[in-house]
Structure 1
Amino acid sequence: MAGKNWFDRGGQAYAQFRPEYPAELAEVLASLAPTTDLAVDVGCGNGQLTVQLAAHFDAVIGVDPSADQIGNARLHDRVRYVRAPAENLPVPERSACLITAAQAAHWFDRRAFYNEVRRIAVDDAVLALVSYGVMHLAADLDERFQHFYRTEIGPYWPEERALVDSGYADIDFPFDELSAPPMQIRKEWDMNGILGYISTWSAVRKAAEAGKSEVLESFAADLTELWGDPAATREVVWPINMRLGIV
């Protein structure tokens, strides 16, 4: 990753609380690839998408610069994890038929990453940059959450987060583009799940490092009051955004 790796620690929490992608995502990506020999998932974190791709490909390589993330990665017979940056992929030339980066490409030096994509891609390989946007809660909770996200914790987001907020619409993408089908992530979470997920945010870590934990505590107190029974589950929805291209 270029610059600070916000996820170098906390891989266990990341594995526990980050939402899973719908199975439909890996199925669609596999259907677009020219073959199903090898998929490479870059910035794979703890392997959420990586393992899902293994249901459709003969082999999958998950690449991440964080030893902690890989140490907490999900295992699968057809998945091999390696520690490396997106800008220097330990993958043979002309071997990958699908290259993915899920909730990760906004951190990359994309010029260097795209050079690596071109090097490892077979003819007509597919590149998929996937992100999920800001979550939405039930109406009685969402106004307080959106204020927290945009106003209270907003100043602590790294500048790269703006690319996620725009649904990757503003990301540089020098490939022949394919249309992406609409998808969402849907979860039923109790309050512990919501706060656990928020705890994995880079902005939350930055606010805590800046000594602004009161921002987090105030939001948690308000959410607790609005939520009611903390064991009760509520629906949480994230829009999935993608840039798909032929290499």
Structure 2
Amino acid sequence: MATLDRFSSQADLYARYRIDYPTELYQWLLPQVPGRARAWDCATGNGQVAAVLAEHFAQVEATDISTAQLSKAPQRSNIRYQTARAEHTPFAADSFDLITVAQAVHWFDMDAFNAEVRRVLRPGGVLAEWGYNLLTISPEIDPLVRHFHDDTMRPYWDDNRWHIMDEYARLPFPFVGAQTARFAVRRQWSAEWLLNYLRTWSSVANFQKQHQQDPVLQLAGELTQLWGPGEREVVFPVFARAGQVE
């Protein structure tokens, strides 16, 4: 299976405009993890999750296929960043108490990744995968964003994207004691901030590569008018699952 890198070209935007994850998610996850020695944040991107894990684990390994993304990650004395595929890592067997994958597992070769998880997790160790679905704002703005996502950008989404829309229901999770949870990320954003967030989408990057144009401009005028002055609350629904290796 070919490795897909859909985020290097917009690494600067990604680092600034992508959301981080709520405290409640970590409060749900961490009590499930039996040890605090080592964690691996797989597909770390710009290191958002790795930085949080570094507050709870003695050592954090953080990997990504994008060196551009890794260059934006926060430096901590107990985080080591390196370029590696999710399915093939340099780690020794039985290395980790926790593996996390945030908004990325839908890009993986799942059989190969799950085999690697079983190899590098310690007995009783936890794999946690989560993502977030399409944001909501208001009854008048949501249909505009949904049309842009579902229709305008549809030819430019990789098929992998639709695993997010059904919350990983079709992606295997062959681990014991599986638990699921839902959370909400709430942010106060301006219209400009939202438009720049849309520019982090892989479909937008694909469109720009093909047409050398910014497709976000197609909805910028109407969205800005509907938005009005100031900020609005933007809500991202977060879904998560976690399980253990025996």
Relative to the length of structure 2, the TM-score reads 0.94
Give the whole-Å Cα distance in 1 for the aligned partners of 2:4 and 2:60.
26
Aligned residue number for residue 60 of structure 1:
60
SS at structure 2 position matched to 1:62? strand
Give the whole-Å Cα distance in 2 for the aligned partners of 1:86 and 1:79.
17
Aligned residue number for residue 123 of structure 2:
123
Does the C-alpha gap of structure 1 residues 41 and 244 become closer, same or farther in structure 2, counting only changes over 3 Å? same
- Deviation of the 1:108 alpha carbon: 0.8
Give the whole-Å Cα distance in 2 for the aligned partners of 1:29 and 1:135.
23
Aligned residue number for residue 72 of structure 1:
72
Give the whole-Å Cα distance in 1 for the aligned partners of 2:212 and 2:172.
34
- Deviation of the 1:203 alpha carbon: 0.4
- What per-residue deviation string (whole Å, max 9, x for no partner) do you get for residues 160-211 of structure 1? 0010000111111121242223211111111121111110110001122232
Does the C-alpha gap of structure 1 residues 29 and 90 become closer, same or farther in structure 2, counting only changes over 3 Å? farther
What pairs with 1:77-156 in structure 2 (closer than 5 Å)? 77-156=77-156
Give the whole-Å Cα distance in 2 for the aligned partners of 1:180 and 1:53.
20
Question: For the Cα contact (< 8 Å) 1:27–1:56, is it kept in 2?
Answer: no
- Deviation of the 1:212 alpha carbon: 7.7
SS at structure 1 position matched to 2:127? strand
Aligned residue number for residue 236 of structure 2:
238
Between the two proteins, what is the percent identity of the paired residues? 36
- RMSD over aligned Cα, in angstroms? 1.6
SS at structure 1 position matched to 2:74? coil
How many residue pairs were aligned?
245
What pairs with 1:1-247 in structure 2 (closer than 5 Å)? 2-211=2-211, 213=213, 215-229=215-229, 232-247=230-245
Give the whole-Å Cα distance in 2 for the aligned partners of 1:62 and 1:45.
9
Give the whole-Å Cα distance in 1 for the aligned partners of 2:25 and 2:39.
14
SS at structure 2 position matched to 1:179? strand
Give the whole-Å Cα distance in 2 for the aligned partners of 1:31 and 1:184.
20
Give the whole-Å Cα distance in 2 for the aligned partners of 1:214 and 1:12.
16
SS at structure 2 position matched to 1:178? strand
Task: Give structure 1 stretches of 5+ with no counterpart.
Answer: none
Give the whole-Å Cα distance in 2 for the aligned partners of 1:145 and 1:12.
22
Counterpart amino acid of 2:240? M
Question: For the Cα contact (< 8 Å) 2:99–2:127, is it kept in 1?
Answer: yes
Structure 1 residue ranges (4+ consecutive) displaced by more than 3 angstroms after TM superposition: 212-215
Does the C-alpha gap of structure 1 residues 3 and 84 become closer, same or farther in structure 2, counting only changes over 3 Å? closer
Counterpart amino acid of 1:138? S
Question: For the Cα contact (< 8 Å) 1:2–1:108, is it kept in 2?
Answer: no
SS at structure 2 position matched to 1:139? coil
Question: For the Cα contact (< 8 Å) 1:44–1:50, is it kept in 2?
Answer: yes
Give the whole-Å Cα distance in 1 for the aligned partners of 2:24 and 2:60.
17
Task: Give structure 2 stretches of 5+ with no counterpart.
Answer: none
Counterpart amino acid of 2:163? L
